[in-house]
Chains A and B, each alone.
Chain A
């Protein structure tokens, strides 16, 4: 074997070793979910999921218009802040101008999260006004759900901003079930085929 060939082979082996480490070493193992279709179980699970997604803690940031909703009665947000292109507001009316990285203490004070925003203008992910069948179909459509596949949809249940719904700050009701119960129903719905309830 020529010396140059030996050097090239050696470098390739080192690179392969580094790739193997970077792919497997430092990363935490992500569970892979498989689908086992069961329409009855799926529809039953979605009925639970729907009650959470339509609760003010979720729906208020998934409005049908370009102004977020506010409060347990889901009224339009005072001051009428606009969504903006990226969902983070416009000019002097950006979400993070009032919403801090954590909840501001006090009754009805601005809730906080470092990622506080609406869905962007090109992917509005509207919940408000959607029926259960409409929302179920929308949630699994990559063109309407932020290009999420099954694994990403399941992982989204633990998104920082989703979790904020269960830490809403003083004076706001919680979603109708615990986050653990929601995640179980969400995962069940998706892994049993993500069937939509019948009807329009």
Chain B
């Protein structure tokens, strides 16, 4: 039994410690917002926060999350109102939407560390998140907008 804090709730997970965290989130806990993309840490669809870092849950074993804080797209904000989520809706970023949870979780780590990212900062932070629909320009625009919203709201601390 492994104890993990996920979205501010404590879970006691009865699974092999080598189970990918993504499997635990989706199949054991029922949090299916995080997506399986490639399974080999190449696409970024499965990004979640592990103690604030944007890890790829498809290759992160459950044992690494033991006693740590995991945040998924479902727990990013109390009412789906993170500046990034607002900006995503405002600019209608998603096309098929499959990669977007991972995109937003990666962008959240960027905006926490850098309140006013340049295009280059965004490219550097988001280079590991692939979008097969090619929404990259809207993603970049939405991150800039979210940075402005975050500044107005005084959030992202």
Q: Tell whether B131 is near chain A: CB-to-CB under 8 Å.
A: no
The answer to whether A100 touches B59, judged by C-beta atoms less than 8 angstroms apart, is yes
Interface residues of B in 107-157 (CB under 8 A from A): 107, 109-110, 113-114, 121, 124-129
The answer to whether B124 touches A91, judged by C-beta atoms less than 8 angstroms apart, is yes
**Residues of B contacting A: mostly:** mixed
Interface residues of B in 28-52 (CB under 8 A from A): 40-42, 47
Write out, one digit per residue, whether chain B residues 94-117 have a CB within 8 A of any chain A CB (1) or not (0).
000000000001110110011000
Interface residues of A in 76-109 (CB under 8 A from B): 78-82, 90-94, 96-98, 100-101, 104, 106, 108-109
The answer to whether B60 touches A92, judged by C-beta atoms less than 8 angstroms apart, is no
Name which residue of chain A comes closest to B103, CB basis. Answer: A92
In this complex, how many residues of chain A approach chain B with their Cβ under 8 Å: the count is 20
- On chain A, the residues within 8 Å of B47 by CB distance are 92, 97
Complex Cα distance, B129 from A171, in Å, reads 24
The answer to whether B64 touches A100, judged by C-beta atoms less than 8 angstroms apart, is yes
- On chain A, the residues within 8 Å of B128 by CB distance are 79, 81, 92-93, 97-98
- On chain B, the residues within 8 Å of A94 by CB distance are 53-54
Q: Tell whether B87 is near chain A: CB-to-CB under 8 Å.
A: no
Q: Tell whether A110 is near chain B: CB-to-CB under 8 Å.
A: yes
The answer to whether B127 touches A93, judged by C-beta atoms less than 8 angstroms apart, is yes
What are 19 A-B contacts with C-beta separation under 8 Å?
A79-B127, A81-B127, A90-B124, A90-B125, A91-B110, A91-B113, A92-B47, A92-B54, A92-B105, A92-B107, A92-B128, A93-B127, A98-B56, A100-B59, A100-B64, A104-B41, A104-B59, A106-B40, A109-B41
**Measuring CB to CB, which residues of chain A are less than 8 angstroms from any residue of chain B?**
78-82, 90-94, 96-98, 100-101, 104, 106, 108-110
